[in-house]
Amino acid sequence: MRATRWLLAVVVLLVLGGVVALVTGGEGSGRGSVSEIPGPTPGAPTSRPADPAQATNTPTPSVSNARPTTVRSLFARTEAGARLAAVAFLEVTEEAVALSPSEAADLQRTMATGGFAEEFAADTEQRMTELVQAVPGGIKLRVAPIEARSIADGEDWLVSIWYVQAITIVDESVVDDWRTASYRMRWEDDTWKIASFESRRGPMPGRGTQPPSDTPTRFEALLSGYSDDGLN
């Protein structure tokens, strides 16, 4: 295997199992004071998707302003509010990968509940440090939520988001990854916060036979000026 492909393989493992875990807290296992994130809780009702009309007047912050101080004033204490907050936290990953390890840790700390914040921040800083060491030039990350599911568990909401992400590794390649991020959303300090989280790969659609459409440089050039602001 060529050195560049070996590096790409290492980077992809770090990105998929680590950087995306910035918001998820780890690959394949729940973290935090509550570990049983995915799946229905016995006796808990399975909710229908949030009523779009209920969420119409609840704006979703863009990645650039999705800070806890802003989120606090935006999300209602409803199922729709919990879903929107979880999506916003997931999308903040796009910005977090451009921060320093300590800055990313600080950001994640403010998104979590008091009982989960320090563990979440420490895990984030470790994973970001590993990424910086492996890819000094950094990466470009685009996250696109596709569908979400929310299940009531007491006063918490278990929100799972199926999404795809495009990862640009400059001078190497552009890769995609399909994942499901599952959050336990808990109302604390007048806002929704992450009480624990889990990220798993898949489900992934079958792949076509076409090779990647463009080099990383051309891929980024074609998307110059594009933004996901206002799409949710």
pLDDT given for residue 115 in this prediction: 97
Read off the pLDDT of each residue in 180-184 and give the average, rounded to a whole number. 96
Question: Of the candidates 188, 21, 18, 199, which has an alpha carbon nearest to the alpha carbon of residue 111?
Answer: 188
Query: Is a pLDDT exceeding 70 seen at residue 32?
Result: no
Contact 29, 198 (CB under 8 A): yes
Give 104: exposed, middle or buried? Use CB within 10 Å, 0-12, 13-18, 19+: buried
What's the predicted TM-score (pTM) here? 0.69
- pLDDT digit string (tens) for 106-152? 999 999 999 999 999 999 999 999 999 998 888 999 999 999 999 99
Contact 159, 180 (CB under 8 A): no
**Band (206; pLDDT cuts 50, 70, 90):** confident
Give 231: exposed, middle or buried? Use CB within 10 Å, 0-12, 13-18, 19+: exposed
* Alpha-carbon span 148 to 8, nearest angstrom: 30
Sequence-ordered list of residues with C-beta below 8 angstroms from that of 28, at least 6 positions apart, any chain: 198, 199, 200
User: Domains (ranges, CATH) in the chain?
Assistant: 3-38+61-201 (3.10.450)
Higher-scoring residue by pLDDT: 43, 178: 178
**Dihedral sign, Cα of residue 226, residue 130, residue 132, residue 216:** negative
